Amino acid sequence: MKTNEVRTKKHIFGRFDIWTFVTIMGFVIVFIFLLLPLFNIFKTSFISKETGRFSLANYRTFFSKVYYTRAIMNSLIVAIGGTLGSIILGLPLAFFTVRFRIKGRAILSTLAVLSLLSPPFIGAYSWIIMLGQNGFLRRFFLTLGIQLPKIFGPGGIILVYSLQYYPFVFLLASGALSSVDRSLEEAAENLGTRGIRKFFKITLPLIIPSVSAGALIAFMMSLANFGVPMILGRNFHVLPTMAYNIFTSDIGGDVGLASTVSILLILVSTVVLFGQRYLATRRKYTSNLLNRPIVKSLKGWANAGAYFICYLIVAISTLPLAVVVVFSFRKTSGPVFHPGFGLQSYAKVIHDIPKTITNSLTYSITAVILIVIVGTLIGFILTRKSNAASKALDSFLMIPYIVPGTVMGIGFIEAFNHKPIYLTGTATIIIMSYFIRRLPYSVRSSASILKQIDPAMEEAAINLGSKPASTFRKITLPLMVPGIISGALMSWVTAINELSSSIVLYVGKTMTMPVRIYLSVLDGLFGTASALATFLLIATGIALYLVNRFVGLGRETIVG
């Protein structure tokens, strides 16, 4: 008995190794950079501006004015609109490219991913260039006697969201469609169900879980987006823009009310996320990877129709990016474009605001290095050292999925503008906001890579005399490298394109490219905005190319 007790004690002590340290570090990070900011927002939302005491005054103010409550409705309208649009564009594209022989499938899919990963606000202002009051497409159609609908307001926002987020539905639905067991559809045909009816009765129900997962991501992204409604909304406010406007108002920001709006925004996201989870767990189908569907060749009009639809969807979603690149090379003087081409916009950017470029690069690269190190280590404990503590950490790391960037920015300001941690106006605060928002994706991706590495591999190394730390270095890490690199590149793309929290956190000297683009658009400096946006697009394109080289642009890589 006694020897047993001694051994148990020794065992517990023996387990205090590097991984215990990693777990503790994980909790410290989550506590400081996630829970503390959110707790500050929560607390502030219940503090009255007048008395400084606990009260429901902020909530009362919010719910007593239609001006505020309408933002909830508006948010839901554009988010649902964006989601429906994503399904309408993404589902047919997935069906046609997976089930029918469409040439150039790889190009279509790469362009869709490129438009997905480019910053949405670039798409938004590109549509202003095309369809604004003086937009070239609008003028062109007017010469044909067609008056196009206006781009400002909910319609324009939904258009941009749909064209931005449809690749989520496309990627997830493609995966599901290509793994539906062929014999199920054949059985339906054998029983006399064909064509459209077969699609709606058999195929669609089978891929609903994947489509709804893609739709959920589109919804959450649309709900949280800040840049697009800010640029296209005019007087149409949604929750993130409302929170931002109240927080940074010229006539003295109302932190309490901004916090209240933030809490409501988190609440809406949470309800939707858990709603989808609940629905998704009730429908789960296992797929058979051996009996994949046949790719059919279409003929005649049907073939032309399928090609037309696929290429049209991708062309329209890529059009804004092309327009931006073209306009970055237009001759300008100040806000005015002149006929012909030139490099004035680039000269101006490099001469006037080189700092935003270096800022963006240093912040995003620093954040990615942190994300990769911490994400890989935490991913390891989640899969290999699973216990109550690591499970708790995993749950906490769900939080960033439901907290929009604007809210995170407000939380960071509230938490870190006083002692003991004073970070307002520093580069650190922006880097840490990138870090914490992207960390969960990196943790998930490194955990999923690890799940594919047989633990027997590590045991074999230990059995051959290699100690735990050297086993991790010689066996586990090398096997994880391709996954880690692609995860790092994806994180870098989102970090360098990030607007919604850096717009809250930046000061003059820490301005980043996305912030500068946004401000330039507000000032009507489309030339500068286009040149900077082209930089971002090139960066995104290079990252995508590298990801493709390392692991391929699969749906797991993009959706996470």
Partner 1 sequence: MATIKLENIGKTFPGVEALKNINEEIKSGEFFTLLGPSGCGKTTLLRTIAGFYHQDSGHIYIEDKLIDDVPAYDRNTGMVFQNYAVFPHMTVFENVAFGLKNRKMPNDEIKKRVAHVLEMARLTGYESRTPDQLSGGQQQRVGLARAMVIEPKVLLMDEPLSNLDAKLRVEMREEIRDIQRELGITTIYVTHDQEEALVISDRIAVMNAGVIHQVGTSWEIYKNPADVFVASFVGETNFLEGEIRGGGAEGVTIIVGKQAIRAKAPAEKLKGKNIRLSVRPEEITLVKNKSENPNSTVLEGKVIKNTFTGPLVRYLVDCGEGTHLVVETHKPEQGSLIEIGTTVFLNIPINSIQCFDPDSGERLR
User: Residues in the site for partner 1, rule: CB under 8 A?
Assistant: 4, 7, 11, 454, 456-457, 459-468, 470, 475, 478-479
**Residue 18 CB, nearest distance to partner 1 (Å)?**
15
**Residue 80 CB, nearest distance to partner 1 (Å)?**
45
**Residue 558 CB, nearest distance to partner 1 (Å)?**
25
**Residue 461 CB, nearest distance to partner 1 (Å)?**
7
The smaller minimum CB distance to partner 1, of residues 4 and 235, is found at 4
Burial of 401 (0-12, 13-18, 19+ CB in 10 A): middle
Q: Beta strands of 216-309 (E only): which ranges?
A: none
The smaller minimum CB distance to partner 1, of residues 60 and 451, is found at 451
Q: Which of 400, 348, 469, 362 is nearest to 30 (CA)?
A: 400
Q: How far apart are CA 357 and CA 362, in angstroms?
A: 9
Residue 97's CB is within 10 A of a number of other CB atoms, namely: 24
Burial 178-211 (b: 16+ CB within 10 A, else e): bbbbeebbeebeeeebeeeebbeebbeebbbbbb
The smaller minimum CB distance to partner 1, of residues 14 and 508, is found at 14
The smaller minimum CB distance to partner 1, of residues 196 and 456, is found at 456
Q: Which of 361, 358, 360, 327 is nearest to 344 (CA)?
A: 327
The smaller minimum CB distance to partner 1, of residues 202 and 449, is found at 449
Retrieve residue 79's tokens. Answer: 């988010």
**Residue 492 CB, nearest distance to partner 1 (Å)?**
25
Torsional sign, CA 204, 209, 214, 219: positive
Omega before 482 cis (within 30°)?
no
**Residue 488 CB, nearest distance to partner 1 (Å)?**
19
The smaller minimum CB distance to partner 1, of residues 283 and 467, is found at 467
**Residue 455 CB, nearest distance to partner 1 (Å)?**
9
The smaller minimum CB distance to partner 1, of residues 30 and 475, is found at 475
The smaller minimum CB distance to partner 1, of residues 142 and 462, is found at 462
Q: Phi then psi for 47, rounded to 5 degrees?
A: -110, 125
The smaller minimum CB distance to partner 1, of residues 316 and 479, is found at 479
- The residue behind tokens 């707790």 is 39
**Residue 343 CB, nearest distance to partner 1 (Å)?**
46
Say if CB 99 and CB 293 are below 8 A apart.
yes
**Residue 404 CB, nearest distance to partner 1 (Å)?**
40
Retrieve residue 469's tokens. Answer: 């730390």
Helix axes of 388-396 and 18-30: crossing angle, nearest 10 degrees: 30
Q: Which amino acid is at 188?
A: A
| DSSP H helices in 48-143 | 57-64, 66-99, 105-117, 120-131, 136-143
Element (H, E) at 338: strand 336-341
Q: Which amino acid is at 471?
A: T
